[in-house]
Amino acid sequence: MAYQATATAPVNIAVIKYWGKRDTALILPTNSSLSVTLDQDHLRSTTTSRADAAFQGPDRLWLNGKEEEIKDGGRLWVCIKELRAWRREMEESDSALPKLSEWPLRIASYNNFPTAAGLASSASGLAALVSSLSTLYALPQSASELSRIARQGSGSACRSLFGGFVAWREGTSPDGSDSLAEQVEPASHWPEMQALICVVSDAKKGTSSTSGMQRTVATSPLLSARLAGVPARMKAMESAITSRDFPAFAELTMADSNQFHAVCLDTSPPIFYLNDVSRAIIALVEEINRANTTPIAAYTFDAGPNAVIYAQAKDMPVIITAVKKFFPTEQEFTDPLKVGEAPLPQGFNDTVVRHGGWEKGAVKALIHTRVGDGPRVLGESDSLLGENGLPKVLA
Amino acid sequence: MAYQATATAPVNIAVIKYWGKRDTALILPTNSSLSVTLDQDHLRSTTTSRADAAFQGPDRLWLNGKEEEIKDGGRLWVCIKELRAWRREMEESDSALPKLSEWPLRIASYNNFPTAAGLASSASGLAALVSSLSTLYALPQSASELSRIARQGSGSACRSLFGGFVAWREGTSPDGSDSLAEQVEPASHWPEMQALICVVSDAKKGTSSTSGMQRTVATSPLLSARLAGVPARMKAMESAITSRDFPAFAELTMADSNQFHAVCLDTSPPIFYLNDVSRAIIALVEEINRANTTPIAAYTFDAGPNAVIYAQAKDMPVIITAVKKFFPTEQEFTDPLKVGEAPLPQGFNDTVVRHGGWEKGAVKALIHTRVGDGPRVLGESDSLLGENGLPKVLA
């Protein structure tokens, strides 16, 4: 007898950044953070989990068709262990339930965006794992309760368990029980919010965020000042979102991205994620906002050179026009949201970006998407596992 | 009757950076700073000041042969006015003195380094002006007292009135009377201290330091944390210099440079001075230090992409070898200090810098110099003014 469940989970891009752990084992952050969940129609991780009494040996997991080791005590292992423990509790209190918690698992996960896109896949991947397993086990826990588990797999994964605008509350408890995600507003509250991801080439592999953030915690004299300011910034951001105040959202988003990269630079040895192309995208967005008088776009950068530019649907044509003009991509851009293009604002000073724009491919690709909902449960036909319990070969 | 004096003054490069004014008119800084004075044999500003009763009209000044307006209330005007006032006091108390304070001035100044080198010439230039005028006027004031005047011409100029290792004390008085420079140690205390200036190309003109620093003061949430930490850093730096502790000097220098650029990035809109080549030089120096176990080199960057790498004479051959290997210059480098080259440390990982190094000219030129002394008074034969009171044409 076999049971299985398939779920998808979205990518989220923080506008108040998570950078630093106060507990590295439990993944408890040094500050609360806030993100926008992106539409799974465009970017998603899909995971199928199957429990079968006939499976032999330990649990097994494949990521994009390649088997990954589930290391004892590792992050994947912890997530599976905790969800299985909840299932066991259910089985113990209701003997009619099949003993899924005793059966080995086969898990296959797949990201629909290329690794080369430089988008962190750990958040959506872990969220899809937790969603599929909690569905398989028919767990009654809420998304916030599940987010505590996802957090231990990959900190920011907890935010991918919700759609819309999502806060990860740092919490105060040493056991991490109150360090979890919750929805600030659903996607339907502000559906005009869109994102343009500019995939930027980088010659050099940067510092991993896991090691980088702890180096910042250990060495940056400025980090404590950042942490002291985050609660007020979180409050202001939530208020900007609730009131759909885009200029306030933009100012806070850009300031927080810049401050995150500032504490990276204040780290010893310093950590750099922004390169000359990233800087040029910042200059472009700042100039569009200046020429427009009020901000219509907000850049933010995670632990890499890629820009994510948030803008409302009505303003996205201007942003796309500007980015295409100064950063011609190698891959032609076809816009799934078909917003079109529009002229740059009057008084826009094009000398802020390198004369004539950048060489083709400085920005490799553009991905246009929008705010979206949380994890989705799919049907049997979407299973990533074949009858034999091994991953299907995807075209 | 004419009197004249010619003086040269050195460039200084801060290791604890000045960034932010608490009083923009008096040029009172938000924090103390500390610099190394560089040898005038290599980099200097020269200024001749002449007072002549026969001169007609207002004071006039030429910089590199081009006349500059001495604007009423401007920075040059303030320096001249204050020095003239001290001369007047002397004349009033000793009627035997010629009334130089009543005679118009002609001032010619010349920098021996090209503007294209991207080195701030305002510090050495203002210091040379103050030195030549104070010599012309035979002022009894000490270099520290003169530094208060130079400070009002260009903040960091006050540090160019001393050789060796120089502190600019921020002071507490609202009138700026205690905001002045003093020598921490003379050049002879640590003559092994050398500097390699890497002149880095930049496509884009950066934000001026005058406007940039006040934008940081107005908008950076992290600046106050930086300011709170400077007194301890000053103390540690002075102690490192006094005890000739290069590793401590290097750690403090690099951390302060990075922190200065961090608060620039935390500014709204953000200020960037480091570009991809600057970042690569940082990565190179960090890797040399890592491979060597203890730091033998310290990078620092002012308000531009140029790197200044401090190292002791014995270690400079390694640094020069590494920089030449990864950043071949367009202009061939001839070393006035003839230290030679030396192999990179065992275990040096050359993948930290772009594979095979950067394209020729990413670093335009190298300037190798060392710690040096303070302003020098030259003889009549070095005058920059012709008999007619106009600047001589220099070859």
3-state helix, strand, coil in chain A (%, to 5): 35, 25, 40
Give the span between the Cα atoms of B107 and B79, in whole angstroms: 13
Give the span between the Cα atoms of A130 and A217, in whole angstroms: 29
Per-residue pLDDT, averaged over B342-346, amounts to: 95
Q: Do both A240 and A170 map to the same domain?
A: no
Give A270's contacts in chain B (Cβ within 8 Å): 258, 282, 286
Q: Do both B180 and B199 map to the same domain?
A: no
**What residues of chain B, 67 to 106, have a C-beta less than 8 Å from chain A?**
none
Of B203, B225, B270, the CB nearest to A258: B270
Give the span between the Cα atoms of A161 and A54, in whole angstroms: 31
Q: Do both B258 and B237 map to the same domain?
A: yes
- Residue appearing with tokens 């940039």: B212
Q: Is the pLDDT of residue A189 over 80?
A: yes
Assigned domain for B124 exists? yes
Closest C-alpha to A199, from A336, A302, A315, A340: A302
Give the span between the Cα atoms of A86 and B253, in whole angstroms: 53
pLDDT category at A317 given cuts 50, 70, 90 is: very high
Of B229, B269, B275, the CB nearest to A286: B269
pLDDT category at B215 given cuts 50, 70, 90 is: very high
Q: Do both A138 and A163 map to the same domain?
A: yes
Judged by a CB distance cut-off of 8 A, whether residue B256 touches chain A is no
Q: Per residue in B63-95, pLDDT tens?
A: 999 999 999 999 999 999 999 999 999 999 999
Q: Do both B216 and B179 map to the same domain?
A: no
Per-residue pLDDT, averaged over B153-162, amounts to: 97
Mutate to test the interface with A, among B267, B272, B275 (most CBs of A within 10 A): B272
Which tokens sit at A24?
């590295």
Judged by a CB distance cut-off of 8 A, whether residue A225 touches chain B is yes
Of B203, B226, B265, the CB nearest to A258: B265
Give the span between the Cα atoms of B186 and B277, in whole angstroms: 33
| Confidence at residue A234, expressed as pLDDT on a 0 to 100 scale | 98
Q: Do both A85 and A197 map to the same domain?
A: no
What CATH number is associated with residue A52? 3.30.230.10
Assigned domain for B157 exists? yes
- Whether the bond between A58 and the residue before it is cis, its omega within 30 degrees of 0, is no
Rounded to the nearest angstrom, the gap between the alpha carbon of residue B205 and the centroid of all alpha carbons in its chain is 19
Q: Answer yes or no: are the C-beta atoms of B347 and B291 closer than 8 Å.
A: yes
Q: Answer yes or no: are the C-beta atoms of B158 and B21 closer than 8 Å.
A: no
Per-residue pLDDT, averaged over A350-375, amounts to: 91
For B259, residues 6+ apart whose C-beta sits below 8 A from its C-beta are A221, A222, A265, A266, B226, B229
Give the span between the Cα atoms of B142 and B163, in whole angstroms: 14
Q: How many CB pairs under 8 A join A and B?
A: 81
| Confidence at residue A305, expressed as pLDDT on a 0 to 100 scale | 95
Q: Do both B246 and B177 map to the same domain?
A: no
Per-residue pLDDT, averaged over B131-136, amounts to: 98
Q: Per residue in A331-343, pLDDT tens?
A: 889 999 999 999 9
Assigned domain for A225 exists? yes
For A156, residues 6+ apart whose C-beta sits below 8 A from its C-beta are A12, A14, A18, A33, A35, A120, A122, A123, A168
Assigned domain for B20 exists? yes
Beta carbons of A229 and B221 less than 8 Å apart: yes
Name the residue type at position A121: S
Assigned domain for A25 exists? yes
pLDDT category at B117 given cuts 50, 70, 90 is: low
Closest alpha carbon within chain B to A264: B262
Assigned domain for B394 exists? no
Q: Which residues of A58-95 are buried (b: 16+ CB within 10 A; e: fewer)?
A: ebbbbbbeeeeebeeeebbbbbbebbbebbeeebeeee
Q: Answer yes or no: are the C-beta atoms of B154 and B11 closer than 8 Å.
A: no
Of B229, B255, B269, the CB nearest to A268: B255
Can you tell me the ipTM of this complex?
A: 0.93
pLDDT category at A287 given cuts 50, 70, 90 is: very high
Give A255's contacts in chain B (Cβ within 8 Å): 221, 268
Q: Is the dihedral of CA B268, A243, A233, A151 positive or negative?
A: negative
Looking at per-residue confidence, does A205 or B213 come out higher? B213
pLDDT category at B265 given cuts 50, 70, 90 is: very high
Of B265, B267, B290, the CB nearest to A265: B265
Give B203's contacts in chain A (Cβ within 8 Å): 354-355
Q: Do both B263 and B313 map to the same domain?
A: yes
Structural element, H or E, at residue A253: helix A246-265
- Whether the bond between A269 and the residue before it is cis, its omega within 30 degrees of 0, is yes
Give the span between the Cα atoms of A39 and A372, in whole angstroms: 4
| Confidence at residue B393, expressed as pLDDT on a 0 to 100 scale | 77
| Confidence at residue B82, expressed as pLDDT on a 0 to 100 scale | 97
| Confidence at residue A355, expressed as pLDDT on a 0 to 100 scale | 73
Q: Per residue in B269-326, pLDDT tens?
A: 999 999 999 999 999 999 999 999 999 999 999 999 999 999 999 999 999 999 999 9
pLDDT category at B119 given cuts 50, 70, 90 is: confident
Beta carbons of B259 and A224 less than 8 Å apart: no
Judged by a CB distance cut-off of 8 A, whether residue A41 touches chain B is no
Per-residue pLDDT, averaged over A318-323, amounts to: 98
| Confidence at residue A202, expressed as pLDDT on a 0 to 100 scale | 74
Q: How far is A6 from chain B (nearest CA, A)?
A: 42
Of B222, B224, B229, the CB nearest to A259: B222
Task: Read off φ and ψ for residue A271, nearest 5 degrees.
Answer: -115, 130
Q: How far is B191 from chain A (nearest CA, A)?
A: 28
Per-residue pLDDT, averaged over B173-195, amounts to: 97
**What residues of chain B, 266 to 305, have a C-beta less than 8 Å from chain A?**
266-270, 272, 275-276, 279, 282, 286, 290
Assigned domain for A388 exists? no
User: A64 vs A107, A119, A121, CA distance in Å?
Assistant: 11, 15, 11
Of A226, A279, A354, the CB nearest to B272: A279
Beta strand B363-370 with B307-312 is unpaired
| Confidence at residue B348, expressed as pLDDT on a 0 to 100 scale | 95
Mutate to test the interface with A, among B31, B220, B266 (most CBs of A within 10 A): B266
Mutate to test the interface with B, among A207, A257, A276, A326 (most CBs of B within 10 A): A276
Q: Is the pLDDT of residue B101 over 60?
A: yes
Which tokens sit at B200?
């880095």
Q: Per residue in A64-107, pLDDT tens?
A: 999 999 999 999 999 999 999 999 999 999 999 999 999 999 99
Q: What percent of chain B has pLDDT over 90?
A: 91
Q: Do both B255 and B366 map to the same domain?
A: yes
Q: Per residue in A260-274, pLDDT tens?
A: 999 999 999 999 999
Of B203, B261, B290, the CB nearest to A354: B203
| Confidence at residue A118, expressed as pLDDT on a 0 to 100 scale | 66
Per-residue pLDDT, averaged over A358-370, amounts to: 94
Task: Read off φ and ψ for residue B202, nearest 5 degrees.
Answer: -145, 130
Per-residue pLDDT, averaged over A172-201, amounts to: 96
Q: Do both B44 and B157 map to the same domain?
A: yes
The angle at the Cα of B269, spanning B266 to B275, to the nearest 5 degrees, equals 70
Closest alpha carbon within chain B to A268: B255
| Confidence at residue B204, expressed as pLDDT on a 0 to 100 scale | 67
CA end-to-end span of chain B: 29
Structural element, H or E, at residue A150: helix A143-153
Give the span between the Cα atoms of A368 and A381, in whole angstroms: 28
Beta carbons of B222 and A221 less than 8 Å apart: no
Give B229's contacts in chain A (Cβ within 8 Å): 221
Residues pairing with B181 in the sheet: B168
DSSP string, B276-324: HHHHHHHHHHHHHHHHTSS---EEE--SSS-EEEEEEGGGHHHHHHHHH
Q: Is the pLDDT of residue B12 over 90?
A: yes
Which domain, by its residues, includes B279?
A: 193-370
Q: Answer yes or no: are the C-beta atoms of A322 and A344 closer than 8 Å.
A: yes
Q: Do both B182 and B203 map to the same domain?
A: no
Q: Do both A198 and A108 map to the same domain?
A: no
Q: How many CA atoms lie within 13 A of B191 on its CB side?
A: 3
How many structural domains comprise chain B? 2
Among the ranges given (A103-117, B101-115, B188-202, B252-266), the one the predictor scored with the smallest mean pLDDT: A103-117
Q: Is the pLDDT of residue A395 over 60?
A: no
Q: Is the pLDDT of residue B10 over 90?
A: yes
Looking at per-residue confidence, does B201 or B85 come out higher? B85
Q: Answer yes or no: are the C-beta atoms of B10 and B49 closer than 8 Å.
A: no
| Confidence at residue B207, expressed as pLDDT on a 0 to 100 scale | 86
Give the span between the Cα atoms of B47 and B43, in whole angstroms: 14
Which of helix, strand or coil describes residue A113?
coil
- Residue appearing with tokens 């979205």: A10
Looking at per-residue confidence, does B209 or B194 come out higher? B194
What is the pLDDT of chain B when averaged over all its residues? 95
What CATH number is associated with residue A281? 3.30.70.890
Assigned domain for A394 exists? no
Rounded to the nearest angstrom, the gap between the alpha carbon of residue B71 and the centroid of all alpha carbons in its chain is 24
What is the pLDDT of chain A when averaged over all its residues? 95
Of A270, A279, A286, the CB nearest to B258: A270
Give B263's contacts in chain A (Cβ within 8 Å): 222, 262
Identify the DSSP state of A73: T
Mutate to test the interface with B, among A272, A273, A350, A354 (most CBs of B within 10 A): A272
Give B272's contacts in chain A (Cβ within 8 Å): 279, 282
Q: How far is A286 from chain B (nearest CA, A)?
A: 7
Name the residue type at position A50: R
